[in-house]
Amino acid sequence: MASEQIPTEPVDAPSFLAQHAPHIDLTQTTKTPRPPSHLTVILNPSAGSRHALQLWANLVQPILIYFLSLSHNNSWLDWSGEVEETRDVRDGERIGREIARQARKGRKEVLVVFGGDGTVHEVLNGVLMRQDGEVSEGVEVELVLIPTGTANALYYHLFPPESPSYPSTTPIALLYCLLAFLSPTSTSALPLSLALNTLPSGEKVLTTVVSSTALHACLLHTAERLRHTRPELEGTERFKVAAQMEVGRWWDGHLTLRLAKLYDPSTKSWVKQEEKVEGPFSYLVSALTSRFEQSFLVAPFRSPFSPLAPEAGEASIDVVAIRPLRRRQTRELVEAGEGERAREEFARTLWDVTGRIYEGGKHVDVLYDDAEGGEGGQGEGREEKGRGVVEVWRCEGLEWVPPQPQRTPPKTFKTLPQTRTRHSSPASSASTAPYTTSVRTVLCIWKRSREKE
């Protein structure tokens, strides 16, 4: 749904649903009684193109009020009628902490969140992270996401626009998650994978989309700066400009992967992989979702359409990396002392390959040809011609260890089968502490499980 498709005045909910979602009849009762639930509406008015308030007032609020006007619905779902608006950076965490404080045993906390991945990230960290740095398992959380942010990676991962089930041009394109929650045929929410990240400072952060270092982390930080210095850059254009500014950089260090397997593009299957991966890296992310924006399919094997998709309930995270010294010409330039030239030339390769991410995730099958490949370097001694430019691992946890000297403990990542939004660490050469990530499941999100992908 484009912003111009958002109603300019409140809709008549029964008529709207009859016209655009005839498969959902809210007057029906559910076959299985719903558990007692408390609903909180959280809205970030500054997210994305700033249409959240209009979408709430003219579309979502009328539908929700209609739903609660039916006696068989208001018997199990409690809502005060109020909306919690975020007012500043990290204000979502404050709202989340208040929800956790008021949570009751035996009652689900349903969070209807208007915003993007950043808003979801803040709210879920507020609800689920305790003050002692541990993840709370005493609050039963169900997420209903209304995507009004810039990238909306989590939403488009769950409701991919290329699927016939989730067309992006319909007036209900932003309501798939909400309608799954309201539908009388829905039975339960689906588990949502989260990553628990331990930062060099010892702070722990939950993410739902990506934990990143190297290029992706730097472009996120640069894009945030561009939000204020280049306000004319709309939507995802900020990220593209930021990527151009950072594309020539490399990052030293190594990864330690836990229970890892590597994608082999020649057989299009997983193979066993050693746990230690040496840098330098020009691109490095650990992804819980298949995409970072609507068409940026960076981790395609996490898509429910992929034959290599994670099994239901699997606690895993996909690591996507590009290591420049796997390219023979680049390695030879570095060995000859021409590091600056090596970076400039490899930047063109990196730009070309990452451009394939927008082509349905084709970057994972781009191979070095005979002229580019070679033995040694970052291939762990293997013949590299015909090998993938991009490396993809699936693991249960990872640790990013910056180069020496190192006097503080490494930074690590653990993969936890249910976490939230996004976190990034530039992990520059000045950073010497490791970063760790692990995965777990601590909440659910609404998606109609009966729908066929």
Q: Quote the pLDDT of residue 416.
A: 39
Q: Quote the pLDDT of residue 414.
A: 45
Domain(s) of CATH 2.60.200: residues in the chain:
196-444
Range scoring the smallest mean pLDDT among 108-117, 145-154, 410-419: 410-419
pLDDT tens, 239-253?
778 777 777 788 888
Q: Quote the pLDDT of residue 382.
A: 43
The domain 3-192 is classified under which CATH number: 3.40.50.10330, 3.40.50.2000, 3.10.450.50, 3.40.50.720?
A: 3.40.50.10330
Extract long-range pairs of 80-86: CB within 8 Å, 24+ residues apart.
82/41, 83/41, 83/42, 83/43, 83/56, 84/40, 84/41, 84/42, 84/43, 85/42, 85/43, 85/44, 85/45, 86/42, 86/43, 86/44, 86/45, 86/46, 86/115, 86/119, 86/122
What's the CATH architecture for 196-444?
Answer: Sandwich (2.60)
pTM of the prediction? Answer: 0.85
Report the alpha-carbon distance of residue 100 to residue 368 in Å, rounded.
51
What average pLDDT score do residues 353-360 get? 93
Q: Which residues pair with 138 in a beta bridge?
A: none
Percent of the chain at pLDDT > 70 equals: 84
What average pLDDT score do residues 195-208 get? 87
| pLDDT greater at residue 159 or residue 424 | 159
DSSP for 22-77, please give it: TT--TTSPPSSPPPPEEEEEEE-TTSTTS-HHHHIIIIIHHHHHHHHHSHHHHTTE
Are 300 and 390 in contact, with CB atoms under 8 Å apart?
no
Q: Quote the pLDDT of residue 453.
A: 42
Q: How confident is the model at residue 3 (pLDDT cuts 50, 70, 90)?
A: low
Are 196 and 315 in contact, with CB atoms under 8 Å apart?
no
Report the alpha-carbon distance of residue 100 to residue 175 in Å, rounded.
26
Q: Quote the pLDDT of residue 419.
A: 31
pLDDT of 74 higher than 80: yes
pLDDT of 95 higher than 80: yes
Q: How confident is the model at residue 426 (pLDDT cuts 50, 70, 90)?
A: very low
Q: How confident is the model at residue 450 (pLDDT cuts 50, 70, 90)?
A: very low
Mean pLDDT of the chain: 84
Domain(s) of CATH 3.40.50.10330: residues in the chain:
3-192
